[in-house]
Chains A and B, each alone.
Chain A
Amino acid sequence: MISVESMSRYVSPVNPAVYPHLSVLLLMIGTFFTAWFFVYEVTSTKITRELSKELFIAFVASLFMGFGLLFLMLWVGIYV
């Protein structure tokens, strides 16, 4: 016998009302870092390029873009 009396109703870890704001904010920050990465790639020469700096910017950019993309999908209605 499965009983639900002792259970509480489930709510999402993030309030669905903030999905739009969260996705826009994260994507904006992510785009900024992506732009910084591409500018760095284009303006640096073989001598001035630093792998650690590249990887760091790429990691932060992908982190923000990834989460931003997830919240964008949730906002649009693709409840993944």
Chain B
Amino acid sequence: MGFRIKVYLICLFVMLTGFCTATSEDILIKNAERTIDLTSQLVKITHRLTLSNTGKSSVKSFSFPIDPKAQEKLSYFKAQLADGKESSGELKTEFSTVKGILTYKITLSSSLEPGQIVKVLVGTVFTHHLSPHPKEITQKEKQLVQYRGNAYIYTPYKVTTQTTKVLLSSSTVESYTKVKPSSQSDSTITYGPYENVAPLSEEGIIIHYENNTPFLSVGHLLRHIEVSHWGNIAVEETLDVYHGGAKLKGSFSRFEYQREQSGVSSVKSFKTVLPELAADVYYRDEIGNISTSNLRQEDDGDVSLELRPRFPLFGGWKTHYVVGYNLPSFANLFNSGDEFVLQMDLISHIFDHMVVDDALVRIILPEGASNIEVETPYAVTRLPDSLHFTYLDVKGRPVVEIAAKNLVENHIQPFKLRYTFSRIVMLQEPFLCVLAFFLLFLTFIIYARLDFSITKDETCDNRSRAAVMVEHIRNHYLKRSTLFQAFETQVAKLKSSRDINAFQAAAKNITSDLRAQILDLPSSLKSESPQLNDRVTELQKQDKAYRDFQSTHAQLVERLVSGKINKAQFVDAEALLTKKRDELVEKLNHLINTL
């Protein structure tokens, strides 16, 4: 029993050790071509590795450690298959710190069989890796920087042959470490080819050359994205940009600056590329709007904003500004039913070869958004959600905050944010406005009903009540006068048409209306205002008189029409009646006006 256990343990041990050493011994890098791009402020290293499996078992992944001297400055890491096609699939990578060295484990898309070879492309970007040397320069001088690296590739595998090509921003090289065979031609330094280099071997190189390209870095970026379901996404970026190159020594002379060959490493302006549909762009700082900017639409559809800060940026100088724009919602917001997805770049383009030390992205969703889920293209820190209060808010708008550090242009990738929002909640905003106005009107209604008088004024009350009655009576009599007019027109028509029957029918209608319209006064009127009562009774008497006159007139005309009297008699009678009529009308009008 004991013996068998020992055998098993020994077998297990052998297997484990075999397993552990399988990755580092079974792979041989047949050919490695490394390109170190030092043409900008970033150090971009691309490795083209030809791996071959020299072991007996298939290999699924290989490890790629980062040079410990540079590993804090690593910003971006990407591995893909180099099979000649531009859009080769990206390989999955995961990193871990093994013995204090940051190591990436790259998983191959298909396992490498023994004896097979595979070509892999590994790209890395380092920030703040070029150090200006001298650290301070005057306005006239050119900027020289130093790159400290390794002549050999830092890898745990044996490399059969390797070459390194260093691309510089200019052909002015102060000095470079010569590791045989190395050569310089124009702005390229070639190291190699080196044969059979042992794993993890180091040969330090220092390249001191002239680099006048913009050394701008964004110290802190605050990116504000506000989503509105009324069709707009507002983006606002607050940036602290500083010049990270050689600091300016001595004073700044504007006169000298305006001459040629002065401040070659300073940055006068830079170009930001905004999304295609960006509109209402503004560029301002604490003082106000900065007018030295140009918004241009490029041929390929991009909108480019050329920004010229208020002063040129020399080494050690910084500027703080805000750029904002509006995007239509259909550019980045998708929905199906109550589910919405916002797809936008996590950070956007600020300037070419940019470095962002610290970024904070705040996405403000409309009030009532729930079930928030965020998917980012690379590892970031998601801070706890908070609330933002702005126009027409009751509960507050949920804010998603994402923080990230050490970002470059390669990090401009979209993130996806999903949330649930029922569209009916949008109505809360207009109804809040409606409620506000209604409360204002209610205040007026209540104010009109408030009575702050100390004593109760009886006569005033009576007078107002009497005035109300007068209005009422006046309106009544106005209506009656229209009826009287109608009667008169009928009579005139009778004179011309001589149609008695029609006249009688119409007359009957009008008289019945008049009778129905007799005014009924409240009984209290007699006690409250006796004079008004007298006048009203007088009015009623006159009204009756007028009606009598009208019936007499009608009878007369009827008699004429039916031939009972002749014309002369009719004319006399009519003249009398007309005189009486005029008197009556005058009296009525007088009474109504002086009511």
Contact residues of A with B, CB < 8 Å? 1-2, 4, 6-14, 16, 30, 37-38, 41, 45-49, 51, 54-55, 58-59, 61-63, 65-67, 69-70, 73-74, 77-80
Contact = CB atoms under 8 A, between A and B. Distances in A.
B336 A7 contact: yes
13 contacts: A4-B341, A7-B334, A11-B231, A12-B232, A16-B230, A16-B328, A47-B464, A49-B449, A59-B438, A66-B430, A66-B433, A80-B230, A80-B390
Interface in B418-457: 418, 423, 426, 429-438, 440-442, 444-445, 448-449
A78 B231 CA distance: 11
B433 A65 contact: yes
Given A41-B448, A65-B437, A74-B230, A11 B465 contact: no
B231 A70 contact: no
B445 A54 contact: yes
Contacts of A59: 438
A51 B468 CA distance: 18
B335 A14 contact: no
B229 interface: yes
A65 B435 CA distance: 10
A47 B468 contact: yes
Given A8-B336, A41-B448, A70 B433 contact: yes
Contact of B444 (A13, A41, A63, A78): A41
A41 B513 CA distance: 35
Given A1-B375, A58-B445, A70 B429 contact: yes
Contacts of B330: 9-11
B430 A9 contact: no
A10 B437 contact: no
A6 B430 CA distance: 31
A62 B441 contact: yes
Contacts of A61: 437, 441
Given A14-B231, A49-B449, 19 more contacts: A4-B334, A7-B341, A8-B334, A8-B335, A9-B334, A10-B335, A12-B329, A16-B328, A54-B445, A55-B445, A62-B436, A66-B432, A66-B434, A66-B438, A67-B434, A69-B433, A70-B433, A79-B230, A80-B228
A46 B450 CA distance: 10
B434 A62 contact: yes
Which of under 10, 10 to 19, 20 to 34, or 35 or more describes the interface residues of B? 35 or more
B416 interface: yes
B333 A9 contact: yes
B280 interface: yes
B364 to A, nearest CB: 11
B542 interface: no
Contacts of B373: 2
B167 to A, nearest CB: 39
Contacts of B333: 9-10
A30 B334 CA distance: 35
A14 B230 contact: yes
B350 to A, nearest CB: 24
A70 to B, nearest CB: 4
Contacts of B295: none
**Nearest 3 pairs between A and B by C-beta?**
A12-B231, A66-B434, A58-B441
A10 B334 contact: yes
Contacts of B280: 77
B341, B418, B434, B468 pick with most chain A CB within 10 angstroms:
B434
Interface in B325-381: 326, 328-331, 333-336, 339-341, 343, 373, 375
Contacts of A51: 445
B228 A49 contact: no
B234 interface: yes
Contacts of B440: 62
Nearest to A4: B334
Contacts of B335: 7-10
A74 B464 CA distance: 48
Given A67-B430, A80-B429, A16 B231 contact: yes
B591 interface: no
A4 B451 CA distance: 64
Contacts of A4: 334, 341, 343, 416
Contacts of B336: 6-8
Most buried by B among A1, A13, A49: A13
Contacts of A11: 231, 329-330
B392 interface: yes
